[in-house]
Chains A and B, each alone.
Chain A
Amino acid sequence: MSNYRLVDLVICAAAEAWHDDGEVLATGIGVVPRLAASLCMKAINTDLMMTDSEAWLVSEPVPLGPRGGYQPRVETWMGFSRIFDNVWGGRRHAMVGPTQVDRFGQANISCIGSDYRRPKAQMLGVRGFPGNSINHANSFFVPNHNSKVFVAGEVDMVASIGYNPARLPKGYTFADIDIRRIITNLCVLDFEGPDRQIRIRSLHPGVSVADVVSNTGFPLCVPENIPVTPEPSKAQLDLLAVLDPRDLRATALGA
């Protein structure tokens, strides 16, 4: 099977993140994470719950873009206040796109620069990152794997808690934090190195360890044998065509 694009492979790799989650709310923020969660709910873990990205849980993922004649199949009211009820109960796994990630898995979408009073670049604000990171499982999607995203030191504004012993709150252990995977345009990373070090889990076809290491601002755990990220199957590509009929994913890696 070679008739696929990198973004298709990335989405299929990202979809694996919820494989063993059972009945949790899968939230994918942005085109790639949302398609990944949708693909997972359709084909891998059909017990997942998902919203219409507005105020309802739906019994099947809503295709991206203008609806045409499609009516979302709502099953439960899920306004923002209830999203927080779910978050605080822990039955959720979100995949989000941070601006920066550091070696601890601490992530930032708030602002860039060393002077918080006067940031070099104001981004979104911390949004739900602090609450997500200490309440439920999280994965990250990084469309452009480079050392500006995977920074050498700590992220400029720690918006989500990571596996940083210096910041671990009283009474907490790493077991209270659950960062699963980071899916990028080069590889899949996880936190299964020694002491939760970030590890290369798989390399996308044609990508070398050196490509990943030289584009990452901190040392990675590099296993001796690293599998190649699986290519999408015909069935997965057919499903993606249904979930993204207008091919919004075509530019999702910044192409």
Chain B
Amino acid sequence: MGLTMDKRTTAAQAIAGLQDGMTIGIGGWGPRRKPMALVRELLRSKLKDLTIVAYGGADVGMLCAAGKVRKVVFAFVSLDFIPLEPYFRAARQNGAIDVMEIDEGMFLLGLKAAAMRIPFIPTRIGLGTDVLRHSPAIKVIDSPYDDKAWVAMPALPLDAALLHVDRADARGVCQICGPDHYMDDLFARAAGKVFVSCDELVDTEFFADPVQARQVFWERAQTTGVIHIPGGAHPSSCAPLYGFDAKHFKEYAASAKEAGGWSQYFDRYVACGEEEYLNRVGGLAAIRQLPLPVF
């Protein structure tokens, strides 16, 4: 009888547990530390009508291109050095998706409210702007303590969150070593199921060093499944292990300018599966050599 929790699973098993119409949060920020291998598994699945909640990059663009998305909750969708995400842009300009467009900080508050199991968090953010006009579901309320208008930023509960981290153990202790964990801890707390891909799978003993344990941003009880996928954030970055792949992003962005460009990208980099993907982008060693971005 096993006494130790073992949350190791596969990308296919994790995605198989999701259903049409679900609200899926995706961690990271723009081109940084996105769980792209899990996103590719989502792209290969039959799932549809998803609501995607993300500080968006190519994750959002690819899911839009593949017709997986009913609605995007976003503050931006950008690859940073390529400011406008081409496939998200096309989906918006074709009227193909619903959106809830909110401020980056409102987004944080929505995840925080869900994490705290409360319906909303009051804030002044959004007052006087079209954020409220275009999302009438976001209410402006009176305060019991003053006579000002307050935005009641609704909780953004997630059916599932997909995250990528540097390291994890089999019980779901997850470590992010990059300089910023972004809002991944809030995604982990706002979601019913949390699937985490990791570049390295380590023994629990690894975290016995307080310096390592200091880079763990949520408790293992928040982690549902751990998937060991070296290079799993590619083409986004996973600092300090690797930077983002500017060449690959340029190729991806260029594909959006061609007729049938998405299906060519899909055939070349998604349909082939992860093992072949790694080969086609030059191998894990090449990924680990990608320089960290300088801002």
Contacts and interface: CB of A to CB of B under 8 A. Distances in A.
Most buried by A among B78, B84, B105, B183: B105
Given A125-B75, A135-B125, A130 B131 contact: yes
B280 interface: no
A117 B104 contact: no
B134 A128 contact: no
Contacts of A117: 95
B106 A119 contact: no
Given A80-B29, A170-B149, A122 B106 contact: no
Contact of A111 (B92, B125, B146, B182): B92
A54 B93 contact: no
Given A130-B125, A135-B125, A171-B147, A159 B76 contact: no
A79 B106 contact: no
Contact of A130 (B29, B78, B103): B103
Nearest to B112: A81
B149 A172 contact: yes
Interface bin, chain A:
35 or more
Contacts of B147: 170-171
Given A119-B92, A134-B128, A168-B128, A88 B149 contact: no
B182 A80 contact: yes
Interface string B51-95: 000000000000000000000001111100001100011001111
B89 to A, nearest CB: 4
B146 to A, nearest CB: 7
Contacts of A65: 294
Interface string A63-95: 001110000000001011100100110000000
Interface in A3-55: 52-55
Most buried by B among A77, A115, A121, A169: A169
B7 interface: no
A218 interface: no
B126 A130 contact: yes
Interface residues of B, number: 45
Most buried by B among A81, A118, A133, A168: A81
A54 B149 contact: no
Nearest to A121: B93
Interface in A100-126: 110-111, 115-126
A114 to B, nearest CB: 12
B106 A131 contact: yes
A120 B183 contact: no
A34 B133 CA distance: 32
A161 B129 contact: yes
Given A125-B74, A131-B105, A81 B183 contact: yes
A127 interface: yes
Contact of B148 (A87, A131, A169): A169
Contacts, number: 139
B93 A118 contact: yes
B294 to A, nearest CB: 6
A122 B103 contact: no
B293 to A, nearest CB: 8
B220 interface: no
A195 to B, nearest CB: 16
B18 interface: no
A117 B89 CA distance: 12
Given A79-B182, A125-B76, A158 B130 contact: yes
Given A81-B183, A126-B129, A130-B125, A67 B294 contact: yes
A172 B127 contact: yes
B290 interface: no
B129 A158 contact: yes
Nearest to A168: B128
A52 B29 CA distance: 17
A215 to B, nearest CB: 24
Contact of A134 (B125, B130, B134): B125
A146 interface: no
Given A124-B78, A128-B75, A87 B105 contact: yes
A54 B179 contact: yes
A84 B29 CA distance: 15
A222 B133 CA distance: 34
B140 interface: yes
Contact of B179 (A55, A84, A126): A55
Given A53-B295, A77-B179, A168-B128, 10 more contacts: A66-B294, A87-B105, A128-B75, A128-B104, A130-B131, A158-B133, A169-B127, A169-B140, A170-B148, A172-B148
11 contacts: A81-B183, A110-B101, A122-B92, A126-B101, A127-B104, A130-B126, A133-B128, A157-B130, A161-B128, A169-B127, A169-B140
Of all A-B residue pairs in the complex, the 6 with the closest CB atoms, nearest first, are: A171-B148, A161-B128, A118-B95, A55-B179, A53-B295, A79-B180
